[in-house]
Chains A and B, each alone.
Chain A
Amino acid sequence: MGLAAAAVAAALVTLFALLLVAILSYRDSSNTARHAQQAIASANQLEALALDLETGLRGFVITNDESSLKPWNHARKAYKPQAEQLQRLASDDPVQAQAARDVKASIDAYLTDFSVPLVNFMRRNPELARKIVQEGLGLHRLETVRSRFDQFIAGERKLADERNAKARHTARVAIVLGGVSLGLAVLLIVLLIAYLARRVARPIQLAAEAAGRLANGDLSSRVDERGVAEVGTLQRAFNSMAASLERGRRALEEQNRKLRESERVKSELVSSVSHELRTPLASILGFSDLILQRDLDPADRRRYLELVRAEADRLAALLNDLLDLQRIEQAGVQLTREEIDLSKLLEGQVVLYSAQSDRHTLELESDDGCLVVADRDRLAQVVGNLFSNAIKYSPDGGVVHIEARCADSRVRVTVRDEGMGIPVTQQRQIFTKFFRGDAGRRLGIGGTGLGLALARDIVEAHGGRIGFESLEGQGSTFWFDLPLAAAGTPRGVGLSDSRRSGGGS
């Protein structure tokens, strides 16, 4: 772009210079003409003086009157400065300078060799002088003078013509060159405009259109970044702005999606919690009504009271899950540690959960003396959650096999069921709070989606790990391990340990 502008400037400068040359040439040509006219006028005056010499001489010879010699005397004095002037005017050309000298020399010669001697001769012998004039001896000499003048004037005219022609030629060339460079300048300006249109106006137009699309919500709108100089800067700035907008919107959309997902999860939770609360409540209210309203034999009444009690426990456990979750989310898991025989804890839970289902058999195989330092209620909660899941997700019934093995200063508890298993696609989310498998929801298996999330928080707070293996349709095996008490874990009873959980992610 800069190159094109420089070329246009150069063409314009050339154009101006050539016009200047043309003007100067024209002025030069008129100067030459004036100079030639001056020289010719000067030559004519000198020739008139020379003629005065001849006519004055003739007059004097014919009249023999001294007074008639006045023009001759005047001319004889005046011709010298006139001849010098002519020589000055002719001095700029060697040929003309020589011609001017020849003119003066011819007049000098005429005067010394003929005119002055004849005047002197006239005063002594008028008759002879008159005879000389009549015979035309002077005319011959005058012819020489005239021819010298003719030569000078012709030379002067020729010189003027030559100079004139040269000046005109120069002017013509300058005008032609000027015309050419004017055309060139116009062409360059047209090219420059075309260049600007293509490299500047068009990219800017495209950027404006892209900005329009951007404004209409098409955030993927981009422009070609290969523009020249500032155009390229503009294009890159536009693209980076568009990219930043797009990133921002994607982040917002992602955030929005997460919010909607969390809304959906919460609304499912409310619906789920509502069902989970109503079912035990139905048993509690129903059996209480029966006890109050009907005449029952003592055995039935006792049985119904036990059912009321069991369902109330269930309600309490559900409420505890919800409260635990809230507490853990706010402050992390609070542990009250004591030394616990894990085998005994497992036995207790097996008895408890065996009573909940008549279609499932809970088998326990445990090493003796697996001592851990842990929060008894929390650990029971973890075990209970795993047992409850094993039963719930084995709708056809079957065996739930529980094992506890102590080795290498850790104890590992595994709970294996023969149930529906977990589809691979859902395995990653299984510890996510509120997450419930599709099967669970579709088949109406109760639950809050909190059990495993809570179990993980609790196990990790004890320095343990939790995990599972599962094949869809063939059951699941959940496990957790904990450090054994002997392995240097503080044995202080009632020690309070507050560790933040990692949260459910």
Chain B
Amino acid sequence: MTRPSVLVCDDEPNLRELIRVSLGSGWVVHEASDGEEALTRARSLQPDLVILDLMMPRLNGLDVLSTLKADPGLTRTRFLVVTAQPASEREAREQGADGVIVKPFAPEDLAELAGTLVTLT
């Protein structure tokens, strides 16, 4: 059984590391440090899951989300949004987020939510 792939998009290296470690060894983890990088890597990798921070340089997370949701090559991909603003959860879901998690989060919660989203595929 192949491990599911995940693209972690966050401008903070520390947070990317936290997410990677939280997910554990069951994932193939790729990283992007801004919105534009997130777009190109998601299109080329076509991962099972994209974890998106909403506040990123160059292109914000909501724009990345709506662009990727409209991409015909990514219909299988699930999107998990990470935000520091509880208020932006509704907006993220409207743009097509499959799951939303608010910072700060417990590593186990993130791993569990990511696993659930991918298993349902």
Taking chain B's interface residues, is the majority helix, strand, or loop, or is none over half, making it mixed?
loop
Which size class do B's interface residues fall under?
Answer: 20 to 34
A153 to chain B, nearest CB (A): 132
Within 8 A of B (CB), among A265-316: 271, 274-275, 278-279, 281-287, 289-290, 293, 300, 304, 307, 310-311
**B46 interface residue per 8 A CB criterion:** no
A287 partner residues in chain B, CB cutoff 8 A: 18
A289–B106 touching, CB < 8 Å: yes
B12 touches A283 (CB 8 A): yes
Q: Which partner residue on chain A sits nearest B10 by CB separation?
A: A279
| Complex CA–CA separation, A311 to B17 (angstroms) | 13
Would you list which residues of chain A between 219 and 273 have a CB under 8 Å from chain B? Answer: 271
User: Provided the pairs A285-B104, A290-B22 are in contact, do residues A279 and B84 lie with their beta carbons within 8 angstroms?
Assistant: yes
Interface members, chain A 356-375 (any B CB < 8 Å)? 357-359
Q: Which of B53-61, B68-76, B90-98, B112-120 contacts A (4 or more CB under 8 A)?
A: B53-61
19 contacts between A and B (CB under 8 A): A271-B85, A274-B85, A278-B102, A281-B103, A282-B15, A282-B104, A283-B12, A283-B14, A286-B106, A286-B107, A287-B18, A293-B107, A357-B13, A359-B33, A395-B58, A442-B60, A443-B58, A444-B60, A445-B57
List chain A residues, Cβ under 8 A from B11. Answer: 395, 444
- The reply on A446 being an interface residue by CB < 8 A is yes
Q: Report the 6 A-B pairs with minimum CB-CB distance, sorted nearest first.
A: A444-B55, A278-B84, A282-B103, A282-B104, A395-B57, A275-B84
Task: Give the distance to chain A from B14, nearest Cβ to Cβ, in Å.
Answer: 5
A286 contacts across to B, CB distance below 8 A: 15, 18, 22, 104-107
Residue pair A290, B21 in contact (C-beta under 8 Å):
yes
Specify the chain A residue showing the minimal Cβ separation from B109. Answer: A289
Residues of B within 8 A of A300 (CB): 21
> 8 Å CB contacts to A: which residues of B44-92?
54-61, 84-85
A278 CA to B105 CA, complexed, in Å: 10
* Complex: A311 Cα to B56 Cα, angstroms: 18
Give the residues in chain B near A290, CB-CB below 8 Å. 18, 21-22, 107
